[in-house]
Amino acid sequence: MSSPTLLVTGASGQLGRRIVQLLLDEEAGPIIAPTRDPASLHELAARGVEVRAADFDRPAGLLAAFRGAARAVLISTDAIDRPGHRLAQHLAAVHALEAAGVEHVVYTSLTNPHPGSPITIAGDHRETEAALAASRLDFTILRNNCYTDLMLSSVQQAVASGRLIDARGDGATGFVTREDCARAAAAALAATTGGRRTLDVTGPAAVTSAQVAAIASELTGRPVEHVSVPRDALVAGMVEHGLPGRLAELLASFDVAIAANELAVVSGTVEELTGRVASPVRDFLTAHRGDLVPG
C-alpha cells in the first residue's frame, strides 16, 4: 500500500519547516508544502517535497494547493496585524481542506483558548477549533503552550541586568520547546489514527518566573531576581524600548494569563505521540548556557 500524502502549511516558518524535516528524516509522505514564496523552500523541494504556491489571503487558490493530501498540518498563521485577519485565513484554510477531500487535520492551537481568556489572540484559536468541529473533518488539535525558546532573550537581558521583569506574578507556565511541538505535530500527522481529539502540548512541569530566574542564576553564576510589575507598566516599558503597541499588548496579555495560572497546564502528550519525554526548561537553558552571558 502507498503511504498517504501529507501536507504541511507554513513550511517557510520555523515550526513548519522543522515538521517537514522530521517527516523527511522518517521517510514519511509524499509531502506537499504550500507557501506564498515557493523559492523559500528550495532546499525542501530538493529533498522531494512538492512545493506549491498558496496564499491564505487568496482563498480561491487554496483548493488546488491542498488537493491530493490525505492528512494535513494547519499551522496558525502570523497575521496578527489587524483584528480578524488571521481568523479569516484559518477559516478559508479549513473550508479548502474540507473541499479538497483531506481526511484529517492537525491544528496548532493555544492552551485554554476559552471565551474568558485574557490572551488577545485566543479568539482566533477558539473560532478555528469551532470551525473544525463544524466541518466533516477528523482532527487533532494540539494546544501548544508557550515556547521555551522565546524566553532566551528575556533571560539574556535578566542575566545582564540582574532582574527578570514581567507581569507574571507567581503564575506558572508549562513551557514547551518548539522542537517538541514540531515532533508532536509530525507524529500526529504521520499517524494512521482518525477521530477527533484535543491535546495539550506542554513541557514536563509548570515553571514560575522565579524558578526561571533561579535557574539562570545557577547556570551563569550571576545573581538574577524576578520582579513582577503591573501589566500597564510592562506594556509601557516594551513600547518605550521600541516594540509596536499591538505586539506589546499581545505579549502582556500572555503575562496576565500566566499570572492567573491559565497556562499552568502540564500533560504527557509529547511522550504519548513521540515516545520521548518533553524537554524541561532547565535542560533547554543548560543547552544554551553560552548564550545567556553577555559577550
Q: What is the pLDDT of residue 29?
A: 83
**CA quadruple 21, 27, 28, 34: dihedral sign:** positive
Give pLDDT < 70 ranges for the chain. Answer: 1-2, 295
- Spatial separation of the C-alpha atoms in residues 125 and 143, rounded to whole Å: 9
The strand pair at 71-74 and 172-173 is best described as unpaired
Q: What is the pLDDT of residue 165?
A: 96
- Spatial separation of the C-alpha atoms in residues 118 and 292, rounded to whole Å: 30
For the chain, what is the largest distance between any 2 Cα atoms, rounded to a whole number of angstroms?
60
Q: What is the pLDDT of residue 220?
A: 95
- Spatial separation of the C-alpha atoms in residues 260 and 202, rounded to whole Å: 17
Instruction: Cell numbers for 39, please give them.
Output: 523559492
Task: Let me know: does 145 contact 136? Beta carbons within 8 Å.
Answer: no
Topology given in CATH for the domain delimited by 6-145+178-200+265-277: Rossmann fold (3.40.50)
Task: Let me know: does 211 contact 258? Beta carbons within 8 Å.
Answer: no
**Domain parsing of the chain, residue ranges:** 6-145+178-200+265-277
Task: Let me know: does 277 contact 204? Beta carbons within 8 Å.
Answer: yes
Q: What is the pLDDT of residue 80?
A: 85
Burial class (CB in 10 A: 0-12, 13-18, 19+), 122: buried
Helix (H) or strand (E) run with residue 8 in it: strand 6-8
Best CA proximity match to 171, nearest among 118, 204, 202, 207: 207
* pTM of the predicted structure, to 2 decimals: 0.95
Please list the helix, strand and coil fractions of the chain in percent, rounded to the nearest 5, in that order: 45, 15, 35
